[in-house]
């Protein structure tokens, strides 16, 4: 297990870096995966076995592939145009008298 | 009949090729990639358990329904669609949307505003130790059971696809879920749920469209179902009439009540009110997603945004089931009373196989890979949702509160990861138990009835009646749960062969009645006990009881700055209108 690694230092700069999103924006993940799927399906639709007996005569891979490419482009564009802005810090709950208090450690160690 | 056994591959249900495997492998690379990326962001226990309360509403909203769009829902609802027809939509339009809107509009301000970290913790602050223990323990137990069911379905599809023995499939699937949750905590679970949602749609939408094309559009589907329902074999097998299969109301096939009047009452009160409000408004698996959002406004909008995709999910889940019943030979035979061999279990085709068999019959390689990836995604996300909710309740509500108080934050983070490992191991064993139940939906509805129906009664009474006492909290909860168990035990089949059959109810109808009994018993007892015991001082009820909470604590002060289409109440109104229209159309 990775329990030893969780003690790795978390310098303030790294913490702040996460709040300006970047690569860890779920929209980029969605866009990338659907884009790859769209590419594979489009290629299958053009060059692979179309299995028209199964689909009732429709080149399903091609149409689905193109649709996925479009959706992928929408997600990547959206992520570019409106990057995630996450609040710098989330206030911890320290004012609840009924809760056993966790002793929070400041910074890394 | 015998010739059917030789259908395509002898050992695996579906013949996937290299491209399909590439698509599936890509999905796993992304899943683990999200786990690794999220791992860098996890620095304390609030990050691990509540995603640092930093996610936007559309992410938590999609995760909200994805957490529920697991194996049970997809396979179970398509199975119900194949068996009962369109009345299965009640699980969505009556049995989910109103409760989701109620959660967002009425209850979420209390959950989010009181800054509790879990639903049981809210219970603790309102009612103290008794009710908290009952709730935390029963929730933790239910999550382990349901994680097991999800894992079982995941294992059985891997078995059907790759031909691996069930136990190997169970272990591999469990290992993958374990690795991304222990790495990334709730963020990894939520991000994977959102990703899964899109893969599921990419998988099921083409399946539905091609299936519809093959049967000649929706009209063709209706004609074929009507033709099938009037055949002598179907009549002998007591298949619901075409009228019942093609109209959502009054839904006798679903409720199991023969009277249309009682069927509507059963669906509206049993499913729509008791079961669904109990499930959607108090189930921490769902509520946890909303708690991870970045403001009280986003938390309230989480279930409301989720309600929009939710109302259209039936079209890509139930419709394929109905198509399978007329297009897939084996399902047609099963419905006509036959016992076709094969299926995912290898012990004969079941309704749960509808979707897999339809995929086999209509999807070309390529799309087949996307469909398999989508199903695997759903099953893993379902299980991950159960486990991520379990580890929060276990670490905060059981371990921290009752066993080891006042340790460092790192300590609870470590306990959370260990709880994840423990839960996964237990889920593997639960999966083996779950494999002996024939209709997974019945089994789960039964469980929800026991745990959730009384919970909703206690919550709603406690939120709006300040006189309700701590003693009433735990007494009502325990007695309600117990009465559901008793009704299920006395019914014909709610507990399978263990039920005594004293009360002449079976199928979903028995679950509705058990849940309703739990609700009524809980309310009555809570009121009676409250009148004879000491209430909490009013000063401790701020943020927990409606009349003692200032209005400004319940709304987001920034919300009026948003455009109308991003505010809570207008969104909820649009959703309600849309779902009403859908009910009239079908």
| Residues of chain A with C-beta less than 8 angstroms from the C-beta of B40 | 14, 18, 24
Residue B437: per-residue pLDDT: 61
The pair phi, psi for residue B77, each rounded to 5°, is -75, -35
Contacts of A87 in chain B (CB under 8 A): 54, 294
**Could you tell me which residue, B494 or B18, shows the higher pLDDT?**
B18
The values of phi and psi at residue B293, to 5°, are: -85, 170
User: Chain A residue closest to B189 (CA)?
Assistant: A26
B363 with A55: Cβ contact below 8 A: yes
**C-alpha separations of A25 from A78, B292, B427, B479 in Å:** 11, 16, 31, 46
Helix (H/G/I), strand (E/B), else coil: B504: coil
- Dig out the tokens for B486 from the structure: 């008793």
CA distance B335 to chain A (A): 23
Confidence of residue B23 (pLDDT cuts 50, 70, 90): very high
Helix/strand/coil percent split, chain B, to 5: 80, 0, 20
d(CA A72, CA A32): 7
- For B79-97, what is each residue's pLDDT tens digit? 888 888 888 888 888 888 8
* Cα–Cα dist B220/B207, whole Å: 16
Locate tokens 């079908």: which residue?
A: B586
A102 and B409: CB-CB below 8 Å? yes
A74 at the B interface (CB within 8 A)? no
The rounded mean pLDDT for chain B is 81
Pick from B19, B30, B361: CB nearest A54: B361
Strand partners for B55: B293
**B166-215 and B367-392 are packed helices; what angle lies between their axes, rounded to 10 degrees?**
130
Which pLDDT score, from 0 to 100, does residue B94 have?
85
Q: Are A34 and B59 an interchain contact pair (Cβ–Cβ within 8 Å)? A: no
Parts of chain A with a pLDDT under 50: 1-21, 90-98, 101-109
Closest by CA to B488, choosing from B470, B458, B510, B467, is B510
**Do B412 and A102 lie within an 8 Å CB cutoff?**
yes
Chain A and chain B share a number of CB contacts under 8 A equal to 151
Beta carbons within 10 angstroms of residue B206's beta carbon = 26
d(CA B225, CA B219): 10
Tell me how close the Cα of A77 comes to any Cα of chain B, in angstroms. Answer: 17
Share of residues in chain B with pLDDT > 70 (%): 88
Burial B551-577 (b: 16+ CB within 10 A, else e): eeebbbeebeeeeeeebbeebbeebee
- Distance between B105 CA and the closest CA of chain A, angstroms: 24
Q: Do the Cβ atoms of B33 and A90 come within 8 Å?
A: no
A98: chain B residues, CB-CB within 8 Å: 124-125
Are B364 and A100 in contact (CB < 8 Å)? no
- Mean pLDDT: which of B33-42, B227-236, B442-451, B568-577 is highest? B568-577
Peptide bond into B250 cis (omega under 30): yes
Superfamily of domain B2-272+312-436: Sodium/glucose cotransporter (1.20.1730.10)
The H or E element that residue B84 is part of is helix B71-84
Does the distance separating the beta carbons of B421 and A1 come in below 8 Å?
yes
The predicted pLDDT at position A89 comes to 52
Task: Using CB atoms within 10 Å of the CB of residue B142, give its burial: 0 to 12 exposed, 13 to 18 middle, 19+ buried.
Answer: buried
Cα(B99)–Cα(B214) distance, integer angstroms: 36
State yes or no: ipTM above 0.90.
Answer: no
């Amino acid at each position: 297990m990775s329990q030893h690694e969780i003690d790795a230092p978390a310098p303030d700069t790294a913490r702040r870096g996460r709040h300006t999103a970047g690569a860890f924006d779920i929209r980029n993940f969605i866009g990338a995966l659907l884009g790859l799927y769209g590419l594979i399906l489009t290629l299958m639709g053009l060059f692979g076995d179309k299995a028209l007996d199964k689909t009732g005569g429709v080149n399903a891979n091609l149409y689905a592939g193109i649709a996925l490419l479009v959706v992928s482009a929408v997600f990547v564009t959206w992520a570019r145009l409106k990057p995630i802005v996450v609040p710098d810090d989330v206030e911890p709950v320290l004012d609840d008298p009924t809760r056993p208090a966790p002793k929070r450690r400041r910074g890394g160690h | 009949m015998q010739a059917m056994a030789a259908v395509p591959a002898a050992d695996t249900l579906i013949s996937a090729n290299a491209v399909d495997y590439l698509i599936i492998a890509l999905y796993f690379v992304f899943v683990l990639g999200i786990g690794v990326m999220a791992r860098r962001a996890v620095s304390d226990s609030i990050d691990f358990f509540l995603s640092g309360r930093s996610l936007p509403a559309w992410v938590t909203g999609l995760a909200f329904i994805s957490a529920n769009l697991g194996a049970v829902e997809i396979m179970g609802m398509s199975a119900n669609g194949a068996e009962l027809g369109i009345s299965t939509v009640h699980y969505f339009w009556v049995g989910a949307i109103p409760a989701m809107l109620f959660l967002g509009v009425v209850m979420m301000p209390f959950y989010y505003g009181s800054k509790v970290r879990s639903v049981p913790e809210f219970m603790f602050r309102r009612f103290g130790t008794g009710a908290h223990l009952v709730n935390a323990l029963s929730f933790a137990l239910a999550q382990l059971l349901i994680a097991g069911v999800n894992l079982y379905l995941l294992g059985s599809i891997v078995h059907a696809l790759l031909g691996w023995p069930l136990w190997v499939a169970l272990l591999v699937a469990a290992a993958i879920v374990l690795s991304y949750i222990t790495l990334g905590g709730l963020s990894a679970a939520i991000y994977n749920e959102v990703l899964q949602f899109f893969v599921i749609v990419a998988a099921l939408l083409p399946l539905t469209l091609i299936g519809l094309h093959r049967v000649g559009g929706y009209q063709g589907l209706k004609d074929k179902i009507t033709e099938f329902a009037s055949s002598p074999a179907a009549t002998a097998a007591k298949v619901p009439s075409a009228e019942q299969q093609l109209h959502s109301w009054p839904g006798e096939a679903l409720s199991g009540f023969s009277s249309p009047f009682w069927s509507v009452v059963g669906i509206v009160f049993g499913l729509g009110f008791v079961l669904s409000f109990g499930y959607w408004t108090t189930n921490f698996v769902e509520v946890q997603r909303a708690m991870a959002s970045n403001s009280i406004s986003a938390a309230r909008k989480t279930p409301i945004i989720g309600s929009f995709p939710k109302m259209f999910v039936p079209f890509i889940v139930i419709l394929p089931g109905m198509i399978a019943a007329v297009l897939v030979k084996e399902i047609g035979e099963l419905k006509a009373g036959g016992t076709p061999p094969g299926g995912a279990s290898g012990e004969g085709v079941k309704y749960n196989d509808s979707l897999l068999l339809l995929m086999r019959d209509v999807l070309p390689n390529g799309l087949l890979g996307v469909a398999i990836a989508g199903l695997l995604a759903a099953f893993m996300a379902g299980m991950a949702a159960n486990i991520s909710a379990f580890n929060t309740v276990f670490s905060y509500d059981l371990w921290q509160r009752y066993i080891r108080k006042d340790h460092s934050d790192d300590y609870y983070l470590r306990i959370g990861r260990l709880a994840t490992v423990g839960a996964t191991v237990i889920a593997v064993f639960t999966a083996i138990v779950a494999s002996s139940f024939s209709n997974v939906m019945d089994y789960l509805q039964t469980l929800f009835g026991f745990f959730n129906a009384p919970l909703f009664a206690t919550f709603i009474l406690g939120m709006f009646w300040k006189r309700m006492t701590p003693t009433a909290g735990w007494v009502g909860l325990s007695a309600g749960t117990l009465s559901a168990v008793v009704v299920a035990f006395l019914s014909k089949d709610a507990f399978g062969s263990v039920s005594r059959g004293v009360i002449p109810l079976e199928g979903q109808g028995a679950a509705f009645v058990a849940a309703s009994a739990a609700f009524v018993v809980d309310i009555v007892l809570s009121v009676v006990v409250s009148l004879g015991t000491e209430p909490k001082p009013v000063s401790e009820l701020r943020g927990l009881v409606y009349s003692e909470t200032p209005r400004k604590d319940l709304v987001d002060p920034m919300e009026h700055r948003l455009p109308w289409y991003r505010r809570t109440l207008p969104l909820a109104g649009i959703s309600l209108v849309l779902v009403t229209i859908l009910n009239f159309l079908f």
